[in-house]
A and B are shown apart, each in its own frame.
Chain A
Amino acid sequence: MKVLVAVKRVVDSGIKVRVKPEGIDLQGVKMTINPFCEIAVEEAVRLKEKKLIAEIVAVTIGPKQGAESLRHALALGADKAIHVTTEARIDQAVQPLDVANILAKLVERDNYNLVLMGKQSIDDDFNQTGQMLAGLLDWPQATFASNIQITDGVAQVIREIDGGLQTVKFKLPGVITCDLRLNQPRFASVPNIMKAKSKPLETIPLDKLGKLHNSIQITKTEAPAVRKGGAIVENVDVLLQKLRTEAKLF
């Protein structure tokens, strides 16, 4: 069984981002693998360790620094990597439907049995790519996975949903997107980082697989409003007055 794991390179979650007119300031900012994508890679590696899958291929879309996320995935245990290169801003111009189309092309080219992805990326939080990919391939999907079992070509996934937990079962091939509680990724050990350098990495320019349509336009990026101090009021009358005159609620 072959698994495709899609990973995205995003601004590190610990960084306090700065806003420029054209968007988030990415200059010199620390970038890492999207946490949910890392969880997907870890899950693929665990499935391989249980001998349920034979090969893991990691793919990313982005500029040449995107290869860092692929090297990280290879160091965690992926076997091969594919780098779809583009100079477009991955946090703005590389959008879910276009990504899904590109991944669908790769699935058709290489015949994967399973696609694992993070449920969403922490820069745009779209939470759409996995679902769109399944739709384009006409495959079953299980999103927000917190547990994955595979037996005899059938995947059983526990999903985290608003009401609690839902268990779904489907015959592979399919798309599964990964949620926080699925696993805790291992650290990339120094010997594995060294081994990763010699694992195969294929580079494909984006226009060989698809196109960026920019169908979603970002019109404005703002920093969140500065938090104003609160005030303690003496009684409900003052509260109602403030709600009317200051908060203008009614």
Chain B
Amino acid sequence: MLKKFTRFLFSREKIQYDVLIVGAGPAGLSAAIRIKELDPNKSVVVIEKSGTLGGHILSGNCFQPTAMNELFPNWEKMENKPPLDTPVSEDHFHILWNEKLSLQIPHMFYPSTIRNHGNYVISLGDLCVWMGEQAQALGVDIFTSTAGARVIFDEKDRVIGVATGDMGIAKNGEKKSNYQEGIDIVANQTILCEGARGSITERVIEKYNLRKDCEPQSYGIGLKEVWEVPPEDFKAGLVQHTVGWPLCRNTYGGSFLYHKNTNQIHLGLVVGLDYENPNLSPYQEFQNLKKHPKISRFLKNGTCISYGARVLNEGGYFSIPKLTFPGGMLAGCSAGFLNVMKIKGSHNAMKSGMLAAETICAKQNVEPGQELVEYENAVKSSWIYDELYRSRNFKGSFKYNIYSGLFYGAFDGFISKGREPWNIKSHVKESESYLTKDKAPQIKYEKPDGKLTFDLLDNLARSGTNHEHDQPAHLKVIKEAGPKESINLYDGPEQRFCPAKVYEFIDTKEGKKLQINAQNCLHCKTCDIKMPKDYIRWTVPEAGGGPNYSGM
């Protein structure tokens, strides 16, 4: 500890701020904006691993404007308005039985909590670009292409900032001609807003045992495409959700399809990562989904312009950890505020960022390393907690199959409304939920047709993902025997769950060998969650790499 501290004192370059925010997503940018509104003299920096604002943002997104209305009460009258230009016009829910049939649930059967009237179809990436501009206009420093590698501790083991990643290291670990050591960003408070399964966040949660009194977090993977369609197939503001086919009834998941101005369709599939069949490929299930008439009717004359994937939280209320630690706090999906029933988390992320800002600004003379426990109280007495508590049993009720979940959703939505005295917890560790390969049913996926369904690598080009190839693989094998066990026991499900074909087992003389195509990585974090034996740890690669999403 003393060695680390002395090294910190004497070697790397340092810059100092009042508040450091890791991640330029809705939570981070809301926090930054709110701090500057309340106290313009506070110095605020946001670091973002993507090369551009919105570059690593992927979300549905049917946006509930509650937090936006609080952060920018006059947003509708602003000259440079936020990109909320598609109000929801229609709201549909279908249960898909098979590849042809479906049952539409009439609108009157939707509990009020999931009705989308008053919401907007947006691109969260575009909203983050707009929020970034607002933040910069208020004097926030935003550094893109700046990756947070690890937190910095003081001699009392409190967080006093974040060290950015070194750049220009070759695959063999040597320094290249453009090597640049990272710097230490030191701050009185550090707000971690990395999104679901943040790489720094998970280490901090482990270190301070923030999950001591809560359920472990559960996750799903969300795959998404954006299509451009002719005007005759486009209905601005149409929102459609489905459950059922192509997922089997024991696999949690469902699809979303939103019509966004102009002539764009944002659609995707969420698959709960506690699925048990190692032969399942979430990507192929998504391609299958598009063949259903309820989906293909909109896409048949269109062009796919974008693709990507990211995990999302599914633990809800029971999985929220302790929100503060010495020197900082968790906000947004790094904490886990996604409302699973609504599949909405952006509004809660923004609100939590604002509450973090308000907590910091309410305190006189914040000392470095101080733990501001008032933040947790603020979140617990806010509408974030109200709505998460209300729908707390939603995901758990799916533990039998989707019908038990839907039935309970209706029961909870209309009758109990969250007031039921019981709690249904259903966490299954995703990396341990597999059937062995002899017990797992085979799944035959059809070849893509190139028009409606696509080969994964062809689609991957639409994510714009790239990494400097001459760098150490950022996906670290932390258990040497892991790959062998994965292929022997489960036939290597990582070859199928990764939405970027990072993991391949190739035949060699010594048998099957794992090849990691780290350059393809979409930073979705699925492997960090679902890898058999947890043999992979996702770490942040050289900054600037990763997807180049635009308008996702």
A/B interface sample: 8 pairs, CB < 8 A: A14-B464, A30-B548, A184-B178, A187-B145, A189-B13, A190-B146, A191-B183, A194-B15
Asked whether B55 lies within 8 Å of A30 as measured between CB atoms, the reply is yes
CB < 8 Å neighbour of B550 from A30, A186, A189, A194:
A30
Chain B residue nearest in CB terms to A32: B51
State whether the Cβ of A12 lies closer than 8 Å to any Cβ in chain B. yes
A15 close to B (CB within 8 Å): yes
Would B141 and A194 count as touching, CB distance under 8 A? yes
- The answer to whether A50 has its CB under 8 Å from any CB of chain B is no
Contact of B176 among A14, A15, A29, A184 (CB under 8 A): A184
Q: Mark B130-158, 1 if CB is under 8 A from A, else 0.
A: 00000000000101011000000000000
Closest 3 CB pairs of A and B: A14-B466, A28-B550, A187-B167
Known: A14-B465, A28-B129. 16 other contacts (CB 8 A): A12-B548, A16-B462, A28-B126, A28-B550, A30-B52, A183-B177, A184-B176, A184-B177, A184-B178, A186-B168, A186-B178, A189-B13, A189-B180, A189-B183, A190-B143, A194-B15
The interface residues of chain A lying within 8 Å CB-to-CB of B55 are: 30
Whether A185 is near chain B, meaning CB under 8 Å from some CB there, is yes
Closest CB of chain A to B356's CB: distance in Å?
23
Among A16, A18, A191, contact of B13 (Cβ-Cβ < 8 Å): A191
Residues of A with C-beta under 8 A to B177: 183-184
Are A16 and B461 within 8 A (Cβ)?
Answer: yes
- Closest-by-CB residue of B relative to A42 is B178
Query: What does the 1/0 interface line of B69-98 toward A look like (CB < 8 Å)?
Result: 000000000000000000000000000000
Interface residues in B183-211 by Cβ distance below 8 A to A read: 183, 185
The reply on B64 being an interface residue by CB < 8 A is: no
Instruction: State how many angstroms separate the Cβ of A227 from the closest Cβ of chain B.
Output: 11
Binary B-proximity of A32-66 (CB < 8 A = 1, otherwise 0): 10000000000000000000000000000000000
Answer whether residue B222 sits at the interface, using C-beta atoms and an 8 A cutoff: no
CA of A14 to CA of B180, assembled, Å: 23
B123 (CB) vs chain A CBs: closest residue: A28
Indicate if B499 sits at the interface (CB-CB under 8 A). Answer: no
Alpha-carbon distance A191/B146, docked complex (angstroms): 12
Distance (whole angstroms) from the CB of A73 to the closest CB of chain B: 15
Are B164 and A190 within 8 A (Cβ)? yes
A193 CB within 8 Å of chain B: yes
How close is B57's CB to chain A, nearest CB, in angstroms?
Answer: 12
Q: Once the chains bind, are A14 and B548 in contact (CB under 8 Å)?
A: yes
Q: Number of B interface residues, CB 8 Å?
A: 29
Q: How far, in Å, is A28 (CB) from chain B's closest CB?
A: 4
Q: What's the minimum C-beta distance from B131 to chain A, rounded to whole angstroms? A: 15
CA distance A210 to B296 in the complex (A): 52
Of residues 11 to 32 in A, which have CB atoms within 8 Å of B's CB atoms? 12, 14-16, 18, 28-30, 32
- Whether a CB of chain A sits under 8 angstroms from the CB of B248 is no
CB contacts (< 8 Å) of B464 on chain A: these are: 12, 14-16, 30
Asked if B25 is at the interface (CB within 8 A of a chain A CB), the reply is no
Point out the residues of chain A lying under 8 angstroms from B178, CB to CB.
184-187
Residues of the B chain whose Cβ atoms lie less than 8 Å from the Cβ of A187: 145, 167-168, 178, 180
Q: Does B278 contact A (CB under 8 A)?
A: no
In the docked arrangement, what's the CA distance between A16 and B164, Å? 29
Please measure, in the bound complex, the distance between the C-alpha atom of A186 and the C-alpha atom of B551, giving whole angstroms.
Answer: 30
Complex Cα spacing A183 to B178, Å:
9
A29 to B164, CA, bound (A): 26
Q: A30-B52, A184-B177 are in contact. Are A190 and B461 (CB under 8 A)?
A: no
Q: Are A28 and B551 in contact (CB under 8 A)?
A: yes
Residues of A within 8 A of B145 (CB): 187
Q: Tell me whether A30 and B183 are in contact in the complex, defined as CB-CB below 8 angstroms, given that A12-B548, A15-B548 are known contacts.
A: no
Known contacts A15-B464, A30-B55, A184-B178; is A190 also within 8 Å of B15 by CB?
yes
Whether B305 sits at the interface, judged by CB under 8 Å, is: yes
Q: How far is the CA of A184 from the CA of B179 in the complex (A)?
A: 10
Q: List which B89-114 residues lie within 8 A (CB) of chain A.
A: none
The distance from the CB of A32 to the nearest CB of chain B, in whole angstroms, is 8
